[in-house]
Homo-oligomer: A and B are copies of this chain.
Amino acid sequence: MFEPTIKDIAKICGVGVSTVSRAINDHPDINSETKEKIMNAIREYGYVPNDSARNLKRVDAKAIAVLVKGIANPFFTSMITVIEQECKKRHYAMELSHIEADENEVDVAQKVVKEKRLRGIIFLGGLFSHSEEKIKKLSVPFVFSTVGSIPENISKKLYSSISVDDRRESARMVNYLIGLGHTKIAILVAEAQEESVGKLRLEGYCDALKVHGIEVNPKLICQTKDELSHFSMENGYLTTKNLLERKEKFTALYAVSDVLAIGARRALYEAGLRVPEDVSLAGYDGLDMADYTVPSLTTMRQPVEEMAKDTTRLLFDVIAKRTKHQHITYEAELLIRESTAKIPE
């Protein structure tokens, strides 16, 4: 299989390589006839420029990277879709990279920046526990989007961030449940030990209980299993089963993600418990899915579309040096649906 290079095309057309290069890259100073001749040869011989060679020379690659930790989470899939559209509008390419649970996102970022000559990075999900030293090594602007808590020791001038105040919004959800009369509220929490959204949402849960003078019962705090993917229905199902087997009494169950809640709902059903008549069930995230379950799920909706758009906007603003790094926090929206109800007298 013959793979022509720019030189071959130049030879075929009887022109210099620079002329071919000009044709490919839409440079203004080129005769339109020459250009057409070249483009025809390119089509005929199936020439495709080698991006590796390009990136070696070029400074501005009109591309950004999105680094996702946990692509199985449908919440991220929605974000990615929107980010992709936004990049396209700006005629930028988007490189999507999946980061393994045991990989360090900043190391991967460094590699990707070198490899492609891209202009910026979006980190989606994962934890934020990186040294300022490493962060500084990243030579392009970056945005942390919907990661866990951001430590105080890193200068906020180094990056942008997009997030929901997980602790506060989580407390709001629990407040709502308490307002319905619930006091025995179980919580399904993922990755509670790490600096994750899970931990923050658990803190919000405790906050709300304390404010109302309800003692936190550790037996009602159910941690998802580490062996399984943390944000999966299966994990929600099994963890809830476990809770039910322990016979600890509760009238409401709050899962820190919709995916977990859906698994939990199945476990409740199999135990013969009705939702919401016997147990109120609440989730978090506001996935599309949560609106189609039966009963539909009460949840905290994170404004995905808006967050994804702002994530992209922030990054491009910094790339274009229009603005300094910014930090935006969103309000979540409490969606009251069919899965929660007043506690029976």
Task: List the interface of chain A (C-beta within 8 A of B).
Answer: 1, 3, 46, 48-56, 71-72, 74, 77-78, 80-81, 84, 88, 96-98, 100, 110-111, 114-117, 136-137, 139, 232-234, 237, 262-263, 265-266, 269, 288-289, 291-294, 296
Contact = CB atoms under 8 A, between A and B. Distances in A.
Contacts of A288: 232-234
A72 to B, nearest CB: 6
Contact of A114 (B48, B78, B234): B48
Contacts of A111: 48, 51
Contacts of A80: 71, 98
B110 A48 contact: yes
A155 B108 CA distance: 40
Contact of A292 (B55, B81, B262, B291): B262
A104 to B, nearest CB: 13
Nearest to A107: B48
Nearest to A289: B233
A269 B289 contact: no
B233 A115 contact: no
A275 to B, nearest CB: 9
A7 to B, nearest CB: 14
A280 to B, nearest CB: 16
Given A52-B52, A53-B52, A292-B265, A1 B72 contact: no
A288 B228 CA distance: 13
A115 B77 contact: no
A117 B52 contact: yes
Given A46-B137, A52-B116, A96-B96, 15 more contacts: A51-B111, A51-B115, A52-B52, A52-B55, A71-B77, A72-B78, A72-B81, A77-B77, A96-B97, A237-B292, A262-B292, A262-B293, A266-B293, A269-B294, A293-B293
Contacts of A50: 56, 114-115
- Among A52, A77, A88, A291, max chain B CB count under 10 A is at A52
Given A52-B116, A96-B96, A139-B1, A263 B292 contact: yes
Contacts of A136: 1
9 contacts: A1-B136, A3-B139, A48-B114, A52-B117, A71-B80, A72-B81, A234-B292, A266-B294, A293-B293
Contacts of A266: 291-294, 296
A74 to B, nearest CB: 7
Contacts of A77: 71-72, 77
